[in-house]
Amino acid sequence: MNIDKKYYDQIQENLKNTLQDTKINAPNKKVGKVRDAYFLENQVLMVSTDRQSAFDRVLAAIPYKGAVLNLVSAWWFEQTKDMFPNHLISVPDPNVSLVEKCDVFPVEFVVRGYITGTTDTSLWTVYNGGAREYCGNSLPEGLKKNDRLGEPMLTPTTKDKVHDKPVSKEEIIALGLMREDEFNVAAKMSLDLFRYGQKTAKENGLILVDTKYEIGRGEDGQIKLVDEIHTPDSSRYWIEKTYEERIAAGEEPQNIDKEFLRLWFAKNCDPYNDEKLPEAPDDLVVELSARYILLYELITGEKFDFPNIENINQRISNNVEEAL
């Protein structure tokens, strides 16, 4: 991966300048794993922090990660707005999106193009454990880790506060999480957006491996894409030109997302069960930040404009007040 050395220097200098807890002048704060939300009357300020999560917990703080996450998502929302409606209103700050308040369905629409992963709900983990049916999908014998699937596969999960649980369409409807007509619209949105994402990624030398979508209903009654789209937090990306060669050599694909951070924690501790986790090494944090920035540039075709992060909360507050 060809990453400008200046980026590493810039990130190294700002290892301590990360947005981990937001303190802006807005009401009704709700803290998520990686985002903080401030609920206004019929809008929401979604603030992307630098918190990095995996294995259902926060692992580290990655400089510039929140800005990349927010700006990549905003770019994809703009590219796909004519395909399906989404909740984005404006981007008043690199870390902030002002969005329409929607009633979000309690289901995450996970779409997979390859069989891979390290978590206990990943497709490869369950397949390697012997399962051949997953979320209503049948899987053939003989698949190897990191193989491409014949067609993108929809594998929804519940949005559990502790740990997401894979579910089929029939289970979603039986549990009353969605009506069948709502599910059908959301499933089409997810698969169409994923195919578009794969096509766009390929044009930029990337493979969009898998992703997740959140979908809700706006106050106007329309079903809309919400939360984020095709970010390095919600998606897995590989470098296309080295994929075949690395698979043939029995190596992991060259990734450009947080998978290598997952792999480091999986190797050095039990991230699901250990009460205290080791600190991610600085070089790992710097590398992940640089990969996030590279992904932004590859996807958008634009240079990343490093925002001032010496006092992020003050910068965000000023920009939000101006926008509102």
What does the domain layout of the chain look like in residue ranges? Answer: 5-323
Q: DSSP string covering 90-105, please?
A: EEEETTEEEEE-EEEE
pLDDT of 162 over the 60 cut: no
Is residue 75 within 8 Å of residue 299, measured between CB atoms? yes
C-alpha distance from residue 315 to each of 19, 30, 272, 310 (Å)? 11, 20, 35, 9
Q: Tens digit of pLDDT for each residue in 221-235? A: 999 999 999 998 899
Share of the chain above pLDDT 70, in %: 99
**Mean pLDDT across 120-125:** 88
Please name the fold of domain 5-323: D-amino Acid Aminotransferase; Chain A, domain 1 (3.30.470)
CB contact burial 72-85 (16+ within 10 A = b; e otherwise): bbbbbbebbeeebb
Confidence of residue 119 (pLDDT cuts 50, 70, 90): confident
| Rounded (10°) CA dihedral 278, 284, 285, 286 | 160
Confidence of residue 250 (pLDDT cuts 50, 70, 90): very high
Q: What pTM was estimated for this model as a whole? A: 0.91
Is residue 92 within 8 Å of residue 137, measured between CB atoms? no
Unique residue bearing structure tokens 């959140």: 214
pLDDT of 289 over the 90 cut: yes
